[in-house]
Amino acid sequence: MFRTFVVYNLIFLLIIVFLKPSSSVDLSPDRKKLYHDIVSGRGLYYGFTKLRELNGTNFKTVVFGEEKHKMWLVEFYNSWCGHCHRFAPTWKTLALNAYEWRDTVGIGAVDCANDGNNQLCRDMEVMYYPMIKLFPPNSEMTFLGEDFPKGTVDEMLRNATLKLKIYHNTHQVPTHPNLKLVTESDVDNLWRDVPSESAFLVLVFESENSTAGSELALDLSRTKEVQVRLVSHNNPHLSNTFEVGRGSNRVVILERGSQHTALPVDEHTRVSLNNVVRQFLVDRSVDIPPKLSPVEMIPIDEINIGDVMSVMQQEDE
């Protein structure tokens, strides 16, 4: 990793020697800010508040200390790396789409091009850029993280949710939403561990390998009036009780002390579940997060070394 860092800097020095920057460059304010952040060591995500900028000073305190109850997804990148620039919009979009999950899932980023982070990136055995590592809740400080595959935003969100579901099968984190399948057959028992402040209980009937219900639970985890529970669509007792066909994906919403409502879902996806449940709750004056739309990428151009040098030259004058 250190050798790679040296190579990047040698290449940059050669560019400075042989490439003469123009005396003035017409850049947009956002583009100029990005280049200034890179040159000053602030990285690609400076000022983007939907993710946590981690560094050699705060990484262990946050991931293994104050916020260790969360599952962390951390991107290790190099702000001079073209691949990292191309991946940055994906990581920003993921952080934006997982922002309502922030009490349970932390999204972070470390700039390994910053001198202050060199030792951290070596300690974490970062071998390429960008590299994503997953840290389960309550990870030990000696844990180097689990390699997490890059993909589309939807793919990474589903993969992260699946990892969290697997963790919840053997561990319990009181501050997390309940992602275990309901085993109760008695309707009254469904309310047993639901906080008194919650007036609505959302039952999502789905297959065991689906993540859509868990994503809904994470989306609504900061809405105290609502709790989400996952039910196998093959659960005979609850399927019969709520007249949900065996093997079908449905949503049933229970109101405390009142009747239940079965809601059909066209597609068993995170967006579809959100829209159906959201409309039901909005009609009952529940304050919930904004309507969820399909993932849209946050654009960012690739780095232009000549323009960066011009910004550096202008700031030196």
Asked, for residue 210, whether it belongs to a domain, the answer is yes
Overall average pLDDT of the 78-82 stretch: 89
% of residues, the chain, pLDDT over 90: 58
Q: What pLDDT does 16 receive?
A: 39
The verdict on 126 and 203 lying in the same domain is no
Q: What pLDDT does 29 receive?
A: 65
What six digits make up the tokens of 273? 């579940």
The verdict on 86 and 104 lying in the same domain is yes
DSSP label at residue 99: G
Q: What is the largest CA-CA distance in the chain?
A: 76
Q: What pLDDT does 39 receive?
A: 58
Is 80 exceeded by the pLDDT of residue 187? no
The verdict on 220 and 95 lying in the same domain is no
**pLDDT tier at 208, thresholds 50, 70, 90:** confident
DSSP states of 32-69 as a string? HHHHHHHHTT--S-TT-TTSEE--TTTHHHIIIIITTT
The verdict on 156 and 267 lying in the same domain is no
Dihedral (CA of 53, 59, 61, 65) sign: positive
What six digits make up the tokens of 119? 């030792």
What residues make up the domain containing 68? 29-169
Number of domains forming the structure of the chain: 2
The verdict on 37 and 134 lying in the same domain is yes
Asked, for residue 316, whether it belongs to a domain, the answer is no
Nearest to 245 by CA among 217, 270, 265: 265
Query: Which residue shows structure tokens 């899932």?
Result: 105
The verdict on 117 and 236 lying in the same domain is no
The verdict on 119 and 197 lying in the same domain is no
The verdict on 111 and 142 lying in the same domain is yes
**pLDDT tier at 6, thresholds 50, 70, 90:** very low
- pLDDT tens track for 155-164: 999 999 999 9
Asked, for residue 212, whether it belongs to a domain, the answer is yes
Report the chain's mean pLDDT, rounded to a whole number.
84
Q: What pLDDT does 2 receive?
A: 45
Asked, for residue 232, whether it belongs to a domain, the answer is yes
Asked, for residue 13, whether it belongs to a domain, the answer is no
Domain with 242 in it: what CATH number? 3.40.30.10
The last residue of one of the domains, among 169, 200, 222, is 169
Cβ proximity of 312 and 299 under 8 Å: no
Asked, for residue 309, whether it belongs to a domain, the answer is no
Distance of alpha carbon 137 from alpha carbon 128, whole angstroms: 25
Overall average pLDDT of the 48-76 stretch: 97
3-state secondary structure of 197: coil
The verdict on 143 and 273 lying in the same domain is no
Cβ proximity of 130 and 84 under 8 Å: yes
The verdict on 135 and 258 lying in the same domain is no
Q: Pick the more confident residue, 7 or 159.
A: 159
The verdict on 33 and 137 lying in the same domain is yes
The verdict on 68 and 165 lying in the same domain is yes
Asked, for residue 21, whether it belongs to a domain, the answer is no
Asked, for residue 314, whether it belongs to a domain, the answer is no
